[in-house]
Structure 1
Amino acid sequence: MKKLFVAAICLATFASCATQSSLYSWYDSEDATYKYTKRTTDETLTEAMAQYEKVIKKQKGLRGVVPPGVNAEYGYLLCKAGKKEEGLALLRAEIAAYPESEKFISRIIKQLEK
């Protein structure tokens, strides 16, 4: 009985050490965003936009959806890069995916539509 108890404890301990999958796949979007905000150039903008596009198109997280804020950030960058319609569509997609963001994102949309 004592051996069974020790085995159960060991099994529980090893099971808790297993790696857990993330809810979202971020790839290197955090680093690209940091580089862009630290030093705004066309090169860092292109890199950040490429990483956001990768996060959106190749989502492999447990939830299988785009992480909160990614559509909004990428949409805003697209608007700044002159692709206003694509950017506004992504901002609206952020609201559709995360309705709690509507108050904030709708203000951004209104400012960009002026």
Structure 2
Amino acid sequence: MKLTMLAVFVLTIFVSGCATTEKPMYDYGTYSESFYAMKKDAGAETVGEWKMALENIINESNQEALRVPPGVYANLGYIHLKANNTEKAISYFEQEQQTYPESEIFMSNLIKKSNLQGNDKL
């Protein structure tokens, strides 16, 4: 009898431990694959694919009511900064800062440097 009860108890714990109904906090989608492709073969095409992957992550996160993963807004902002689209870059840096307050110091520094870069064009 004790052995049967122990077996049922262990089986119950095992089955309940495997079942989860919680939604993930966030989903990185194809972030890793597209980032690796860009680093492996840097060029306008792979940067464009990485940019599209980041935009897809943001769109899918919004559709699924998930938090946009850490660094996605910042990476997208960096792509825009490299393309001399300072306003859009700052917008994404600010979104990263709002979503992840712990990034405030780093994002604030990027925003300041981006503003300086944008003012150099004037």
Q: Answer whether TM exceeds 0.5 for this pair.
A: yes
Bigger proportion of residues as helix: 2
- State the distance in 2 between where 1:84 and 1:95 align: 16
The aligned amino acid for 2:106 is F
Q: Does the CA-based 8 Å contact 1:24-1:63 persist in structure 2?
A: no
The aligned amino acid for 1:12 is I
Q: Does the CA-based 8 Å contact 2:77-2:92 persist in structure 1?
A: yes
The aligned amino acid for 2:107 is I
Aligned pairs, number: 113
Aligned to 1:9: 10
Q: Report runs of 4+ in structure 1 exceeding 3 Å deviation.
A: 17-22
1:90 to 76, 80, 92: 92
The more displaced of 99-108 and 30-39 is 30-39
Q: What whole-Å deviation, never above 9, does each CA across 1:72-96 have from its counterpart, x for those lacking one? A: 1111112212332112101001111
Q: What whole-Å deviation, never above 9, does each CA across 1:49-87 have from its counterpart, x for those lacking one? A: 001001111117x98111111111111112212332112
TM-fit CA distance, 1:8:
1.9
> Which structure 1 residue ranges, 5 or more long, are not aligned?
none
% of aligned pairs identical? 30
So what's the TM-score if we normalise by structure 2? 0.80
**Over aligned residue pairs, what C-alpha RMSD do you find?**
2.2
Aligned to 1:71: 73
Aligned to 1:102: 104
- State the distance in 1 between where 2:94 and 2:39 align: 23
> Which structure 2 residue ranges, 5 or more long, are not aligned?
117-122
- State the distance in 2 between where 1:46 and 1:27 align: 16
Aligned to 2:25: 23
Task: Summarize the Cα distance change of 1:113–1:46 in structure 2 as closer, same or farther, 3 Å threshold.
Answer: same
Q: Does the CA-based 8 Å contact 2:24-2:66 persist in structure 1?
A: no
TM-fit CA distance, 1:15:
2.6
Is residue 53 from structure 1 mapped to residue 49 from structure 2 by the alignment? no
The aligned amino acid for 1:110 is K
